[in-house]
């Protein structure tokens, strides 16, 4: 693994544990670690070669943090981190991820009730002990129980795709760079683009000795425990509780291994049944003649599917959802190709409180992707610490006009906050003066199903609102989706001509695959967006393409696959109807 990513991981973990140690995400040390993390992420210099004084020249890295970075790079350890890990083991960190339980609440639960895990908390909730603590009460106790239930905590530990994907990509990229590795790929539920994964499967092809590859995995800084250390398979557990299973195969077996370890189980069973019907056997090594053991196909997945009389089935479709029958009949759904995405309609700049790239950088990055249209959508004024007052938002118009060209239309917009009763930021006339508005829920996540549905529909009915952003307001494995009457929402989207966002950020992937499938027979318009807060995050759109394909969504249902004229005509319809 490269030094830069190791240091980013170090600083992220220091920040997370220091929040618990100091009882606040706004503590000075927390902000220092977070600022340093962003600085390291942004630099293109070789972190491993930088001295302490050179590190302090990075904007956001102080002397104390620079010393910690250098110590960690030189020794692979940091006493401060070891102390924090001992004080706040993973089971305690998991408590802090439950909605309604902040760092101060974690401390109170530990000191007054001896709670050290989700299992402990569940027992205390069942015994109605939590409500006896000051600041809790019966109502909060019930909300915590519901959050645990909806997040599925306390059961088999699963890792969100947002946390697993970067680890998988870095491991695979590092493996591919090795001279003794011919190819490598992550498989399992992550390759099928599931929202959470139980463990991370990686398959490596090599012609050489697998031992050095296995030893490399065992020696990584992230490894907490070695579960299996063999020639064909090595399994480790990270400090965050993610199990990584590494398997080494011959290059001639790579396709069969990737197919087998990608799954799903039900998909693989149907493939094996097709093989058996032909007198063949399909396993992790090859598709072969059962009696003679002659190899029919093994090196590539495509060759195996072809031998079984099927078109290649992309991994995100392998869920026993009729994909094998569709492949047999040549009616697999078409995914959205990268060059079909014509624009991005949810982008923030550093004018928003949490944005990190200037407007010009965002526009340049969008042009580099070949976009024909782009919406700049700063957070509106009612979002604390992040919102933009109307005077500053109005002033941004001139900057946008100066950057627009014939190649790309830039829409001046805003991300409005949907209030508790469905109210929106700014006044009606100001909202209507903007080219594009999306409206999103950022607060009041615990309202009733009826109240949540009503506030979203009221926002849809506003003529300035083109799109509802991240509809369920979920953060995968961290914050459960709000309760909504989805059928009523889809009906209102049709009636008002309001699009629903497919937020392509891995922490959200909102709307979900389930909602996309439920809308398949309705005339609801969807829009994939990056929700980028930095110009590098525009590439999130690639995750959205997989997400929509997994739902079998027709690309023409996604408005930002339309050409510029068609999209702009559609975007103006709702406003023109009331003007």
What is the SS3 string spanning 188-213? HHHHCCCCEECEEEEEEECCCCCHHH
* pLDDT for residue 384 is more than 90: no
pLDDT-wise least confident of 47-61, 196-210, 354-368, 408-422: 47-61
How far apart, in whole angstroms, are the C-alpha atoms of residue 350 and residue 533?
8
Q: What is the pLDDT of residues 486-504, one digit of tens each?
A: 999 999 999 999 999 999 9
pLDDT of residue 579: 61
- Domains of the chain, earliest start first: 3-69 (1.10.150), 91-151 (1.10.150.20), 159-249 (3.30.460.10), 255-328 (3.30.210.10), 338-576 (3.20.20.140)
| pTM of model > 0.85 | yes
Q: What is the pLDDT of residues 166-179, one digit of tens each?
A: 999 999 999 999 99
What are the residues whose beta carbons fall under 8 Å from the beta carbon of 410, sequence distance 6 or more? 363, 373, 374, 375, 376, 400, 403, 404
Map residue 502 onto helix, strand or coil.
strand
How far apart, in whole angstroms, are the C-alpha atoms of residue 90 and residue 315?
31
Handedness of CA 6, 8, 13, 15 (dihedral sign): positive
Span 556-565, average pLDDT: 97
Map residue 22 onto helix, strand or coil.
helix
Closest CA to 481 of 462, 454, 507: 507
Residue 15 CA to chain centroid, in angstroms? Answer: 20
Phi and psi at 116, nearest 5°, equal -125, 0
Whether residue 212 contacts residue 180, with contact meaning beta carbons closer than 8 Å, is answered with: yes
| Eight-class DSSP state of 296 | E
* pLDDT for residue 399 is more than 90: yes
Q: Between residues 478 and 470, which one has the greater pLDDT? A: 470
* pLDDT for residue 296 is more than 90: yes
Q: What is the pLDDT of residues 186-219, one digit of tens each?
A: 999 999 999 999 999 999 999 999 999 999 999 9
* pLDDT for residue 385 is more than 80: no
Q: Is the peptide bond before 406 cis (omega within 30 degrees of 0)?
A: no
Map residue 290 onto helix, strand or coil.
coil
How crowded is residue 60: how many other Cβ atoms within 10 Å of its Cβ?
Answer: 18
Phi and psi at 473, nearest 5°, equal 60, 20
Whether residue 399 contacts residue 359, with contact meaning beta carbons closer than 8 Å, is answered with: yes
How far apart, in whole angstroms, are the C-alpha atoms of residue 65 and residue 55?
9
Burial grade of 298 (CB within 10 A; 0-12, 13-18, 19 or more): buried
**What totals of helices (H) and strands (E) does the chain contain, helices first?**
24, 17
pLDDT of residue 154: 63
Residue 368 CA to chain centroid, in angstroms? Answer: 23
* pLDDT for residue 1 is more than 70: no
What are the residues whose beta carbons fall under 8 Å from the beta carbon of 139, sequence distance 6 or more? none
pLDDT of residue 456: 98
pLDDT of residue 351: 95
Closest CA to 478 of 241, 152, 240, 166: 152
**Percentage of residues in the chain having pLDDT higher than 70:** 99
Q: What is the DSSP string of 407-423?
A: TBEEEEEEEEE--TTS-
| Eight-class DSSP state of 483 | P
pLDDT of residue 5: 84
Whether residue 396 contacts residue 362, with contact meaning beta carbons closer than 8 Å, is answered with: no
Whether residue 216 contacts residue 261, with contact meaning beta carbons closer than 8 Å, is answered with: no
Residue with tokens 């700063």: 378
Pairing mode of beta strands 199-205, 196-197? unpaired
How far apart, in whole angstroms, are the C-alpha atoms of residue 456 and residue 493?
10
Span 31-46, average pLDDT: 89
Span 285-302, average pLDDT: 96
Give the model's confidence band at 155: pLDDT under 50 very low, under 70 low, under 90 confident, else very high.
low
* pLDDT for residue 151 is more than 90: no
Map residue 523 onto helix, strand or coil.
coil
Q: What is the mean pLDDT of the chain?
A: 94
How far apart, in whole angstroms, are the C-alpha atoms of residue 175 and residue 185?
9
Q: Quick one: which H or E segment has residue 34? A: helix 28-42
Pairing mode of beta strands 373-379, 343-347? parallel
Closest CA to 171 of 206, 105, 220, 123: 220
How far apart, in whole angstroms, are the C-alpha atoms of residue 280 and residue 284?
13
Q: What is the DSSP string of 328-371?
A: HTT-PPPPPPGGG--EEEEE--TTSTT--S-HHHHHHHHHHTT-
pLDDT of residue 578: 72
SS (HEC) of 162-197: HHHHHHHHHHHHHHHCCCCCCEEEECHHHHCCCCEE
pLDDT of residue 379: 96
């Amino acid at each position: 693994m490269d030094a830069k990513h190791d240091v980013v991981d170090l600083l992220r973990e220091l920040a997370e544990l220091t929040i618990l140690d100091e009882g606040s995400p706004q503590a000075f040390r927390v902000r220092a670690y977070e600022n340093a993390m962003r600085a390291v992420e942004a630099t293109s210099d070789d972190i491993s070669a930088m001295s302490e004084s050179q590190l302090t020249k990075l904007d956001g890295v102080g002397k104390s943090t620079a010393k910690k970075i250098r110590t960690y790079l030189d020794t692979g350890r940091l006493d401060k981190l070891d102390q924090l890990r001992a004080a706040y083991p993973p089971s305690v960190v998991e408590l802090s991820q439950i909605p309604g339980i902040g760092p101060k609440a974690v401390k109170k639960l530990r000191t007054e009730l001896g709670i050290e895990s989700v299992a402990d908390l569940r027992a205390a909730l069942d015994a109605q002990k939590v409500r006896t603590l000051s600041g809790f009460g019966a109502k909060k106790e019930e909300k915590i129980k519901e959050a645990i239930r909806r997040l599925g905590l306390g059961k088999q530990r699963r890792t969100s795709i947002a946390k697993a994907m970067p680890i998988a990509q870095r491991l695979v990229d590092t493996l591919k760079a090795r001279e003794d590795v011919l190819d490598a790929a992550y498989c399992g539920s992550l390759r099928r683009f599931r929202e959470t994964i139980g463990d991370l499967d990686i398959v490596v092809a090599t012609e050489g000795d697998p031992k050095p590859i296995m030893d490399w995995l065992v020696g990584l800084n992230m490894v907490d425990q070695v579960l299996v250390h063999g020639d064909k398979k090595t399994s480790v557990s990270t400090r965050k509780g993610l199990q990584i299973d590494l398997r080494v195969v011959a290059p001639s077996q790579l396709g069969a291994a990737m197919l087998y370890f990608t799954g799903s189980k039900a998909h693989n069973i149907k493939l094996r049944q097709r093989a058996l019907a032909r007198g063949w056997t399909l396993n992790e090594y090859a598709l072969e003649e059962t009696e003679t053991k002659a190899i029919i196909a093994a090196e590539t997945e495509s060759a195996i599917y072809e031998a079984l009389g099927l078109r290649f089935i992309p991994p995100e479709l392998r869920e026993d959802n009729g994909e094998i029958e569709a492949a047999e009949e040549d009616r697999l759904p078409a995914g959205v190709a990268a060059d079909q995405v014509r624009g991005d309609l949810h982008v923030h700049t550093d004018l928003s409180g949490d944005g990190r790239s200037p407007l010009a950088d965002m526009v340049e990055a969008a042009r580099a992707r070949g976009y024909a249209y782009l919406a700049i959508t700063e957070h509106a004024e009612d979002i604390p610490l992040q919102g933009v007052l109307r005077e500053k938002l109005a002033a941004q118009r001139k900057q946008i006009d100066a950057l627009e060209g014939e190649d790309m239309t830039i829409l001046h917009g805003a991300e409005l906050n949907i209030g508790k009763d469905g109210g929106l930021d700014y006044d009606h006339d100001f909202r209507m003066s903007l080219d594009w508005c999306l409206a999103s829920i950022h607060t009041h996540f615990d309202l009733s199903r009826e109240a949540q549905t009503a506030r979203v529909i009221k926002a849809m009915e506003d003529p300035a609102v083109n799109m509802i952003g991240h509809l369920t307001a979920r953060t995968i494995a961290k914050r459960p989706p709000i309760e909504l009457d989805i059928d009523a929402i889809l009906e209102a989207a049709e009636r008002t001509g309001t699009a629903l966002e497919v937020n392509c950020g891995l922490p959200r992937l909102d709307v979900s695959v389930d909602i996309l499938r439920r809308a398949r027979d309705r005339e609801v318009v969807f829009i994939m967006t990056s929700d980028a807060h930095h110009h590098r995050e525009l590439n999130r759109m690639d995750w959205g393409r997989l997400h929509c394909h997994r739902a079998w969504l027709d690309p023409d249902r996604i408005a930002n696959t339309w050409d510029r004229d068609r999209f702009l005509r559609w975007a103006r319809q709702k406003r023109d109807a009331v003007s």
